[in-house]
Structure formats: structure tokens, C-alpha cells
Amino acid sequence: MVSRVIPVEPFDLVIFGGTGDLARRKILPALFRRFCAGQMPHEARIIGAARSRHGADEYKATVRAAIVEFVGGNEAQSDALEGFVDRIDYVTVDARGTDGWAELAGKMRDGCVRAFYFSVAPALFGDLAERIHHHGIATEQSRIVVEKPFGNDLATARALNDTLAEHFDEGQIYRIDHYLGKETVQNLMAIRFGNMLFEPLWNSQYVDHIQITVAETVGVGGRGEYYDKAGAMRDMMQNHLMQLLCLIAMEPPAKFDPDAVRDEKLKVIRALDAVEPHHIVRGQYQALDGEHPGYREAAGNPRSSTESYIALKAHISNWRWAGTPFYLRTGKRLVARSSVISVVFKDAPHSIFGAEAGRHANVLSIRLQPNEGITLQVTIKEPGPGGMRLVDVPLDMTFAEALGPEGGDPPDAYERLIMDVIRGNQTLFMRGDEVEAAWAWADPMIAGWTARGEVPKPYESGSVGPDHAEQLLRRDGRAWRGIKP
């Protein structure tokens, strides 16, 4: 099955922080792939902007090197690379100064979409918004893209929303959560709202519980200083896992349009109960055989009480979900890299096969990475003679296989999201009130463990996390599903 590519309108995309890590690793490779796919029109232009003094040719060389490093293979060696690089320009701009702004204003073309990607430290978002406005660089149709983290708590998120709102309408602000750009996340909505099969069962009457796991094998690496001020709650739970929770739990929106979808997500966040302290487990990874440093060493803070792992049990107080727990966990240096949502259905009310047939629950697993796909675990008779024994087997739909080789790999999340910015579609971006509501849910938990002086539980690198997290489910007569690559 070959996916259809519809070219977007011509655009000028300014990447503030165009020389930084995110631009080189994600944004420029994503744009290059869309260029190769024929989605980026030839009139499109990408302007890198940062304080470093580069000529346009020097920056083009940086872009070429980034594509070779992060896209690699034949793709990066093709003629397409030169065609792509021809669309690149550079301006030396200081977000906090006067340098470069007039030059940037002079480069903007009339009659095409203007988008400004803020790929710089969040402390600069307000400065950029103010200067873009002051220098008359933005039109009413211009868009700004802001990266995570969006605030550090409710107060800072609110302040940032207010600052951006001084210069841009909410309809012009695209807050990125790259999890929302994943193929499977959108498929989650297609599966729920495009089929009759699941939605009648999608409630507390039939669903025993839901698990959301985002496991990483990497440690904090070079991000130790930032991470130690954030921790797994701020870095992952409040944003990525919260967004997944919203999509799995929300009511069907009346239509697939940005505000209809985001209104429903917001209702989920607002219906979340406060999480009780004994329903939260925080952990910190330990060193592994002298091979990998432990969290505290990696973070450069020997007395750190920041969590590199968090698991919690959440409840949504509404008609659909009353009584169904949502178990969420995320952590670093775990046994495998795996992001999965599992909807665990209740057992059949009565087993006609007797107690010896055991308990068999259907599980719908939505894998976000690696190998994006969906598996439905169903119960069948064990093949062969000798009585009625039951086994659980997966009905597996790995997208790469199901859609065939012509389908290619699904586009990277950044590819889809940047094209959505150009198209002016905000469905997969967080609205300001959603972000604030998510902080309002997370803040009391953080304040609680800070006030109690809690120290995270140690866990072995390469494990499934602290044992206390296993107990969180064991107490309820349940178990986490395995973390498998």
C-alpha cells in the first residue's frame, strides 16, 4: 500500500537554534525526508538562526553533515541532498539582542506560510516571541512552534502561556509533544473511533485496567544537569504519558478537528483524581558493573533525590472510567526500550471450561516503539487432541508488515508534526489549557514528595524498575506486563 503524499504550500520556516542538537538530529532530517517524499515544494525555504556567525554556505555544510550523520545511507547521498540544501539559508540572530533581526525581516517573503520553530532553551521563548512581533516579522497567519519543556510547574507554564499570548493567538501556537506525531498514536484514534468493534467495550464495565509503559534503556547521558531539576515526572509523565492517557480515555470528539479533540482531552485531565502518595513509586537507577554510572553520578549530584523512574496508579472520575485504574510507568536504564499501551479486558464472567482452564483476559496492546503496531491477545483452544485446554495467542498487526514494503517506514513524528504546522493543523499539538491542567495534576504530587523529604527507591540498571512498583499492582491482584524490546 503506497501512502499518498500531498505537497504543502510554499513556506519560510525559520529554525531558531538551527545549529543546535535538536535541529541537527530531528528537525533538519525530518524536513529532508519530507523533501525527498515530494511533500516540501521547491519554493519552500528553511532559514537557520542562531547567535554563531556563519555564512549561508557554511551553514549549508552543517546541514549536509547533519543529514549524512542522522539520515545516512543512500538517501543522504542522493541528488536530493543538494536540492534540499539549495533551500537553506542562515541569519545570525540573538534572541536577547538586536543583532540580525532587520536582516531576518528582510528575508521573509510575502505570499507564503511563515513558521518560526523555537528550538532554543525555553527561557528564550518569550524573547523570541517579543522580537518577532516587534520587528513585524509575523503576519496573522504565521505560526510558532515551541519545544518541550513547557514550563516547570503550573505557575511557569501559565507565565509562558501569558507571554506568548501577548504576541500570538492560541491558533498560532504549536506546542510540540512528539509522542502525538507517532503513527500508532493516531492509529489509536482510528481504531477507537473508526471501528464498531472496540468502542462498546471501551469502559469500566469491560476493561479491568489500562497500563501505559514508556521504558528507555538510556540513562540521563549528557542531559544530567537539566534532568536533575526535572525528573521523570516533569520530563515524561506530565506530558508524554499524560497525552497517551488522554487519547486512550477520552470521549469520542464530534469531529476530528483540533478543538473538538483537545476539548475531550482536557476533560480527561480535569477528571483525574489527585493521586494518593502510596500510589506513587519513584526510583533511581544504580551503577551497573562499573560499566554504566548510576543516576547520581551521571547527574553530577551525589545527594540527588530526583527520580529517573516513576510509576503511579491514576483514576479518572467520570461515567466511563469510574473504578478502572490506569497504571502508568516510565523510567531510564530499564531492561528494554519499549513504549506500549495495554488495555486489559475483564475475564469472561463465567468459564464453561471449568477452573482448570485458567483465567484468560483479552489484551489489546498498542506498541509505539519499537516496531509500531497493534496486537490483540485472544483465547483459543490449544491445538491437538486431549481435552479443552485454552491458550492466549496474539492477533498481530505490525504496520511495517501489514502495509507491505511499498508503504515504507511510517514517517518520523517530527516529519508529520512539522508538515502539520505548515498545513495549519493543530490537532496533534497541545493547547495552553491542556498543559496547564496537566501541571495542576502533577504539581501536588511533586510538592507532596518534596515536603515529605522522600528519596527515590534504588533499582538495578537493566531491570524493570524498583520492586515497589511491582507491589503497586500486586496489591490489586494484578501484574505489570513484561517490558520487551
Phi, psi (rounded to 5 degrees) for 384: 100, 170
∠ CA 29-30-32 to the nearest 5 degrees?
60
Piece of 18-26, 273-281, 313-321, 402-410 that binds ligand NAP (CB under 6 A): 18-26
- Indicate the residue among 20 and 41 with the shorter CB distance to ligand NAP: 20
Q: Which of 10, 30, 331 is nearest to 176 (CA)?
A: 30
CA 254 from chain centre, in angstroms, equals 24
Interface with ligand NAP, residue 120, by CB under 6 A: yes
Piece of 49-57, 305-313, 319-327, 420-428 that binds ligand NAP (CB under 6 A): 49-57
In the complex, least distance from residue 141 CB atom to ligand NAP, rounded to whole angstroms: 24
Instruction: Say which amino acid occupies 4.
Output: R
3-state helix, strand, coil in the chain (%, to 5): 40, 20, 40
How many binding residues for ligand NAP (CB under 6 A)? 23
Q: Give the integer Cα–Cα distance in Å for 165 and 159.
A: 10
Kindly tell me which residue out of 36, 37, 124, 271 binds ligand NAP, with binding defined by CB under 6 A.
124
Kindly tell me which residue out of 7, 10, 22, 153 binds ligand NAP, with binding defined by CB under 6 A.
22
- Indicate the residue among 93 and 207 with the shorter CB distance to ligand NAP: 93
Query: Could you say which of 240, 279, 292, 350 is catalytic?
Result: 240
In the complex, least distance from residue 136 CB atom to ligand NAP, rounded to whole angstroms: 19
- The answer to the question of whether 360 is labelled as a binding residue is no
- The answer to the question of whether 312 is labelled as a binding residue is no
* Lateral strand order in the sheet of 113-118: 88-92, 45-50, 11-16, 113-118, 143-146, 173-175
> For residue 123, what is its C-alpha cell?
527561557
- Indicate the residue among 221 and 453 with the shorter CB distance to ligand NAP: 221
Question: For the purposes of burial, counting CB atoms within 10 Å of the CB of 357, is it exposed (0-12), middle (13-18) or buried (19 or more)?
Answer: middle
Kindly tell me which residue out of 89, 147, 183, 372 binds ligand NAP, with binding defined by CB under 6 A.
147
What single string gives the DSSP state of each residue in 153-202? SHHHHHHHHHHHHHHS-GGGEEE--GGGGSHHHHHHHHHHHH-SSSGGG-
Kindly tell me which residue out of 41, 83, 122, 252 binds ligand NAP, with binding defined by CB under 6 A.
122
Residues written for the chain? 485
In the complex, least distance from residue 59 CB atom to ligand NAP, rounded to whole angstroms: 11
Q: Give the integer Cα–Cα distance in Å for 268 and 434.
A: 10
- The answer to the question of whether 175 is labelled as a binding residue is no
Site for ligand NAP in 393-412 (CB under 6 A): none
Piece of 16-24, 34-42, 153-161, 469-477 that binds ligand NAP (CB under 6 A): 16-24
Interface with ligand NAP, residue 96, by CB under 6 A: yes
292 tagged catalytic: no
Interface with ligand NAP, residue 93, by CB under 6 A: yes
In the complex, least distance from residue 58 CB atom to ligand NAP, rounded to whole angstroms: 12
- Indicate the residue among 96 and 423 with the shorter CB distance to ligand NAP: 96
3-state secondary structure of 71: coil
Give the end-to-end CA distance of the chain in Å, rounded to a whole number.
26
Residue ranges that bind ligand NAP, judged by CB under 6 A: 16-23, 50-52, 93-96, 119-122, 124, 147-149
Binding residues for substrate: 178, 182, 216, 235, 332
Binding residues: 17-24, 51, 148, 178, 182, 216, 235, 332
